[in-house]
Amino acid sequence: MDFATLLQVLDSTVRLATPLLLACLAGLFSERSGIVDIGLEGKMLAAAFASAAIAAVTGSVWLGLLAGVVASTLMSGIHGLASITFRGNQLISGVAINFLASGLTVLIAQDWFGQGGRTPSLMGSGRFEPITLPFAQALSGVPVIGPIYAELISGHSILVYVAFLMVPLSWFVLYRTRFGLRLRAVGEAPEAVDTAGVSVVGLRYAAIVICGVLCGLAGAYLATGLQAGFVREMTAGRGYIALAALIFAKWRPWYALFACLLFGLLQAVALRFQNIDLGGITIPVQVMDALPYILTVIILAGFVGKAIPPRASGEPYQKER
């Protein structure tokens, strides 16, 4: 493999890792507050559809993005209502979100655009265009560093940069702010937060909203950045891979970055090479697709350190008598 091919694979890794990273951080905020969110997939799908539809109709990708975030946050709100206010089962609510999004997006898309459940292809201002960073052209002549800067770092859409900036931002919020301290506490010991006079419900809703916004960004990026329009089930399991990455990352922002890059790389390799020939042994593409899950299972089985979820995750909070 030559240097140019390597750069192309890495470039595609960055693009493919972006939605994973946004969804993974979304799940991180939710689960750190004690709300298990298996509905990342559904929220991304809803956001992908809403953003593509509005961008197609208005011609503005920014309005599309807004619509995507709103759609995803609404879905989050349903999950919050079911699991925080009514103390329902969080897994069931999450699965319901996924089904709801899967059905509704295609139904509305068909009714609205009549193109077999897809939205019209987005063009021009309906999509997020790549941004060329300063000096990319000038530096491209410099060996090694030049191409890396021009190809790999420059030339992505704005949401890619937003996603990567979210990592240090999430870390800062979680570990350096009052909100972060309380958020982490409410996922570990809600009774401690409650007796300290802080609202458990308020904190969890805040986490749910952050989760919705981040999932919205992830979905909008899929439909308006990575691709040009919505097609049915276009999230293709990315929400679940993001969940796997979250476990892989042990619910920490910086680890999440590396987990998502790793899983993104696996996807990029699978896309580029299909079946990999290792001198006689052919590794089918399905193996690459399955790797994120296999790796997660290995992590969960405790072979590579321990992945301990927040103690209170999945349990509705109820004051004891």
Partner 1 sequence: MTDPIAPAIELKGISKAFGPVQANKDISIRVMPGTIHGIIGENGAGKSTLMSILYGFYKADAGEVWINGRKTEIPDSQAAIAAGIGMVFQHFKLVQNFTVLENVILGAEDGPMLGTSLARARGELRALAEEYELSVDPDQLIENLSVGHQQRVEILKALYRKADILILDEPTGVLTPAEADHLFRILDNLRAEGKTIVLITHKLREIMEITDTVSVMRRGEMTATVKTAETSPEQLAELMVGRKVLLRVDKVPARPGDAVLRVENLRHVDSHGVERLKGISLEVRAGEILGIAGVAGNGQSELLEVLGGYADATGTVRVNGKEIALSGPGSDGGARRACGIAHVPEDRQTEGLIMAYTAWENTVFGYHRDPRYQSGVLMNNALIREEAQDKMTRYDVRPPNPQLAARNFSGGNQQKIVLAREIERDPDILLIGQPTRGVDIGAIEFIHQEIVRLRDKGKAILLVSVELDEIFSLSDRIAVMFDGRIMGERLPDETDQTELGLLMAGVTGDPSGDPIKAVEASLEDKAAREAASHD
Residues interacting with partner 1, by CB under 8 A?
A: 175-182, 184-185, 188-189, 191-198, 311, 319, 321
What type of residue sits at position 42?
A: G
What are the residues facing 281 on neighbouring strands? 278
Collapsing DSSP states into helix, strand and coil, what is residue 255? helix
Q: Output the smallest distance, CB 179 to partner 1, in A.
A: 7
Q: Output the smallest distance, CB 183 to partner 1, in A.
A: 11
Q: How far does CA 60 lie from the centroid of its chain? A: 23
Distance of CA 93 to CAs 29, 129, 198, 212, 227, Å? Answer: 17, 36, 26, 15, 29
Q: Output the smallest distance, CB 250 to partner 1, in A.
A: 12
Is residue 43 a contact partner of residue 215, using CB atoms and an 8 Å limit?
Answer: yes
Is residue 46 a contact partner of residue 72, using CB atoms and an 8 Å limit?
Answer: yes
Q: Between 137 and 177, whose beta carbon lies closer to partner 1? A: 177
Collapsing DSSP states into helix, strand and coil, what is residue 316? coil
Taking residue 287's Cβ as centre, other Cβ atoms within 10 Å add up to 14
Q: Between 81 and 189, whose beta carbon lies closer to partner 1? A: 189
Q: Between 131 and 169, whose beta carbon lies closer to partner 1? A: 169
Q: Output the smallest distance, CB 313 to partner 1, in A.
A: 13
Is residue 204 a contact partner of residue 252, using CB atoms and an 8 Å limit?
Answer: no
Q: Between 174 and 244, whose beta carbon lies closer to partner 1? A: 174
Q: Output the smallest distance, CB 90 to partner 1, in A.
A: 21
Q: Between 205 and 263, whose beta carbon lies closer to partner 1? A: 205
